[in-house]
Amino acid sequence: MGAPFVWGYPFGFLWWHSVVLGGAILVVTISFNLGINRISGWGLIALGAYSMLSPFIHAYLSNAQALFNDLMFGIVTVGTGVAMGGAGIEHSDEARSTA
């Protein structure tokens, strides 16, 4: 959510795209931490994949800062989604064994 401010994106598509994508990832992560949604890992994997593909989909490859940010952010988000997916499986196993 802070990339447009840190990297100095021009106002327009890149600016709101990064804020909305960051907000969506924040909502998915909070829902996981509150225990509302245990399949949030898949949501983060999908959002991370979209983040990595968005420079190609929306044709902003010429903006090096946005390209680098979205690729690195996507890799981190996919990795976090995989970790959260594993934590969700472990949590569901724990819940069955204590019941």
pLDDT in tens, 23-63: 888 888 888 777 766 678 888 899 999 989 988 988 888 87
Dihedral of alpha carbons 57, 62, 68, 70, sign? negative
Residue extents of the structural domains in the chain: 3-98
Q: Helix axis angle, 13-33 relative to 64-98, nearest 10°? A: 10
Q: Which amino acid is at 95?
A: A
End-to-end CA distance of the chain: 40
Decide: pTM greater than 0.85: no
